[in-house]
Structure formats: structure tokens, C-alpha cells
Amino acid sequence: MISVILGTQWGDEAKGKLTDYYAGKADISVRFQGGNNAGHTIVVGDETFKLRLISSGVVQGKDVVMGNGMVIDPAILLEELAELRSKNVKIGNIYISERAHVIMPYHKQEDVILEELKGKHKAGTTKRGIGPCYSDKVSRIGIRFVDLIDETVFREKLDVVYDIKKKFFSSLGHEIEHSKQDIINEYGKYADFIREYVTDTSVLLNEANNAGKRILMEGAQATHLDIDFGIYPFNTSSNTVCGGVCTGAGVPPKSIGTVLGIVKAYTTRVGTGPVPTELEDDYGNHLAQKGHEYGTVTGRPRRCGWLDLMLVKYSHMLNHLDGIFITKLDVLNGLDKVKVCTGYEVEGKNVPHFPSNMDIFSKCVPVYKEFKGWDFDTDSVLADGLDSLPKAAKDYLLYVEKALGIPLFGVSIGPKRSQTLVLNEIF
Ligand code: IMP
């Protein structure tokens, strides 16, 4: 049985905590796209885990898979494993897809160079080499894990791509920072460490599914950062939508059961591009401060605004969400009013759905519904389910559920596992 958890906005919806919870019910936990541009924070007791590559289930000793749709920096993988071991996590089996692509040193350098050259079109990337690694995959000059673990093949492929990169960098007035021999030495060490984990994860996952295992597919980034449907060019380079599960993990569409969308109770955005509900006032400061809205990966401050249902509705259309989980409701505590964007207008005219045209999108003016503010004790309020919340907070949640027409599967009111109200399971 395969269930999927996806972000419905621009990422950082606090998915890590929920994937941790649902991974507890799963046998295998899987990442199917992206790389260490993701940052999933999980708090267990006094310990905080910030995972970038490995799927959240690792913290609970589950088997974890890094699917073919991922781009993986081996240095970061080794670091992450070392950190988990130093925190005494009992790590289950680790499987890396033979077909996943390897992030190379020149990808990171290229990320920085291209961002500089793009001027106002720069995406504000995480500079982790994600985009260039995916570009090489599509240009068919990428290096996959199956290549990395075979020294002869690795050298042959590197010979070709290194030459291309050298010419490309030089045409832009740069030199490759790492010599070919340094790369061979460094990546040879990674290969020795990683070899035992590399396998055909598509076969593994399909067999596990046929054997009745519960498989959690953990989305990274979010729907509106998707390479096709995100706000191009200010998006990431992978397919973050539910369809990405099939191409990024190698499982058929009909094997997918429940799809859960994570909705943060407000909107945040890292990087550039329009954000219609952005608040550059005390309300925005309140959200940033109370929500600790600084990037897990880059430490950059996130831009904050009211919840934007236009974003989430479009996510629903693309992903067919069976349920939504609303996170960080507590961050709205203490405000005199709370707003939700229910639609967009451009020059007084209704915009029927989330636009693909960035010029139109940058002109969208949000239409709001306003709610009374609320306050509650985040450590004691969930005993009686939704009824233990203040009426205004409950009204807000029920309004969002109704406006989207998607059942509410749960609410999170703080980083701890205890601060979670689960109304519906996904396995
Ligand atoms: P890249 O994925 O590093 O190429 O960055 C492309 C865009 O996606 C930038 O605007 C990033 O800020 C954004 N981005 C990438 N990963 C995340 C994430 O995990 N959360 C939020 N934004 C992200």
C-alpha cells in the first residue's frame, strides 16, 4: 500500500513532523525527488533532527529509499548518516536507486555562476547544485549511482563531462575549481562507502508493495515549486507533484492509495518571485518570529503572508488530495485578526485559477475573508479534539476544509509529537 505526503504551497509546510508520525505506521519511507535542497525538521523529545536527504522514517529505524528521481550529494549523505549515528539512531536498511543522479562539485559551482548571470530571473536557489545536476540528467551527461560504483565507468563518464564543463565554464570566464583527479579521489571514497546501498529501488518498492508492505512517499519542496507547475522560473528542478512519485520512485499510478496534502496555516516563500499575500508589516513580522521562518538549509529569512487558498486549490487539482493536514496553527495565536485569501483579482476582474503567466501573477490582488483572532495554550489544548480549540480557531479550520472541499485529516499546533491532532490515518 502506497501513501503520499506532499506540500501544497511553496515548501516548508512542516511536513517533517507529519512524515515522522506517519512513517511510524509504515514499513518503508521513500524520497522520490529533489536532493539536499530540502530540510525536514523532526523533534523527538529533546532531540532535533534536520534531515536533508534521507527520508524521515530513518529516525524511527524504518527502511529508507532514495529513489531514481533524486539528485544526491554523497558528501552530504555521509554527513547525515554520521550525524544520525552520533545521536544513537538505530538506522534500518538504506537503499539508493542505481538510477539516481550524483551531485558533482562542478554542479554546485555552476549553480552559483548561473544564478549570478540570470539577474532578475534568478530563482534564489539553495546553491546545492540541484538545477545543474538535473540539467545534466536531461542532457544525458549526468553520472548515476550505478556509474559511480563502477570505477571504470565513472572515469569514462567523468572524462566526457569534465571536458564539456571545462569548455562551458571557460566560455563564461570561469575555471572548474576541482581538478579531475581530485574528483576521482574524492568520489572513489564515496563509492566504496555507498556501494552496498545501491540497488534497483523500483524493483524493491514494487515487490514490497505486492507483498502488502506499507510504503510512505515523502515529498520534498512542494507543489508550487514543481518544475512544470511551480512559478517558473522561480521554482525547483524536479517534479514535486504526485505524478513525480511514479517517475521518481518507479511505481505505477494505480499503486498509489491515499494522498495527503500539508497546508501551513499561513504562507511562506524562500527565494524570489511574486507572493500575492505577502505581509511586510507587523502581521508579517509576527508570522516570521513566532513561526521561526528561517530556511532549514540556507538559514535565509522566509517571506510570510496569509494563507492563500488559490495555491492550495490548484495543488488539489494536480494531486487529487484525499485529505489535508493543517500545520503551525499556533503561529496565528495572539493576532487580533486572521485572513485567508479566497481568490485573486487583476484590475478588478476575477482570476479563475492560479495563473501560469508570471506577469499576470505578479499583478494578482488577493480577495480576503477575515476571521477573529484567537489564543490557546499549545501544551494542553488538544484533549477534546477540535472542540478544545477556541471557537474562532475551529471556525477557521472548518472554513478552510469546506472552501477546499477536502477532509481535514489533522492539525498541528507545535513542533512536539504531542502537539498533533490526528483525525484520519493514511495507512
Ligand atoms: P533549488 O531547488 O536549490 O534549485 O532552488 C530553486 C527554488 O526553490 C528557490 O526559490 C529555492 O528557495 C526553492 N526551494 C528549494 N528547496 C526548497 C525547500 O525545501 N523549501 C522551500 N523552498 C525551496
Ligand 1 nearest-atom number relative to CA 130 = 4
Q: Is 40 a catalytic residue?
A: yes
Sign (positive/negative) of CA torsion 207, 210, 216, 217? positive
pLDDT score at 382:
83
pLDDT score at 42:
85
Mean pLDDT value across residues 187-213: 98
- Going by C-alpha positions, the residue among 187, 220, 205 that lies closest to residue 78 is 187
* Cβ neighbours around 11 below 10 Å, total: 29
Alpha-carbon span 184 to 189, nearest angstrom: 9
Alpha-carbon span 260 to 242, nearest angstrom: 10
- Cβ–ligand 1 contact at 142 (below 6 Å): no
Contacts of 205 (CB under 8 A, 6+ apart): 28, 30, 65, 67, 215, 249, 250, 251
pTM of the full predicted structure?
0.95
pLDDT in tens, 107-127: 999 999 999 999 888 988 999
Alpha-carbon span 23 to 138, nearest angstrom: 32
- Cβ–ligand 1 contact at 257 (below 6 Å): no
Long-range contacts of 351-355 (CB under 8 A, 24+ apart): 351/310, 353/310, 353/313, 353/314, 353/317, 354/310, 354/311, 354/313, 354/314
Sign (positive/negative) of CA torsion 231, 236, 242, 248? positive
Q: Which domains does the chain have, with CATH numbers?
A: 2-92+201-422 (3.90.170.10), 101-197 (1.10.300.10)
Of residues 121 and 68, more confidence is placed in 68
- Going by C-alpha positions, the residue among 389, 357, 384, 385 that lies closest to residue 373 is 389
Alpha-carbon span 27 to 63, nearest angstrom: 7
Contacts of 373 (CB under 8 A, 6+ apart): 332, 334, 335, 336, 337, 338, 392
pLDDT score at 294:
86
- Cβ–ligand 1 contact at 40 (below 6 Å): no
Report which DSSP code applies to 302. Answer: P
Q: On the CB side of 361, how many CA atoms lie within 13 Å of its CA?
A: 17
pLDDT for 418 beyond 90: no
- Cβ–ligand 1 contact at 221 (below 6 Å): yes
Alpha-carbon span 134 to 100, nearest angstrom: 10
Mean pLDDT value across residues 173-180: 97
Q: Are 407 and 424 in contact (CB under 8 A)?
A: yes
Q: Which residue has the cell 525536514?
A: 40
Question: Cα–Cα distances in Å, from 22 out to 236, 261, 322?
Answer: 26, 13, 15
Question: Cα–Cα distances in Å, from 101 out to 59, 142, 210, 259, 420?
Answer: 24, 7, 27, 26, 36
* Sheet strands (E) in 315-397: 323-327, 337-346, 349-351, 365-372
Distance (angstroms) between ligand 1 centre and the Cα of 234 equals 8
Q: What is the DSSP string of 188-252?
A: HHHHHHHGGGEE-HHHHHHHHHHTT--EEEE--S-GGG-TTTSSTTSS-SS--STHHHHHHHT--
pLDDT for 299 beyond 80: no
pLDDT in tens, 20-59: 899 999 999 999 999 999 988 888 888 888 899 999 999 9
pLDDT score at 53:
96
Alpha-carbon span 335 to 283, nearest angstrom: 8
Mean pLDDT value across residues 358-386: 92
- Whose C-alpha lies nearest to ligand 1, atom 18? 221
pLDDT for 162 beyond 90: yes
Ligand 1 nearest-atom number relative to CA 272 = 10
Pocket test for ligand 1, best of 41, 125, 133 (most atoms within 8 A of CB): 125
Mean pLDDT value across residues 365-388: 92
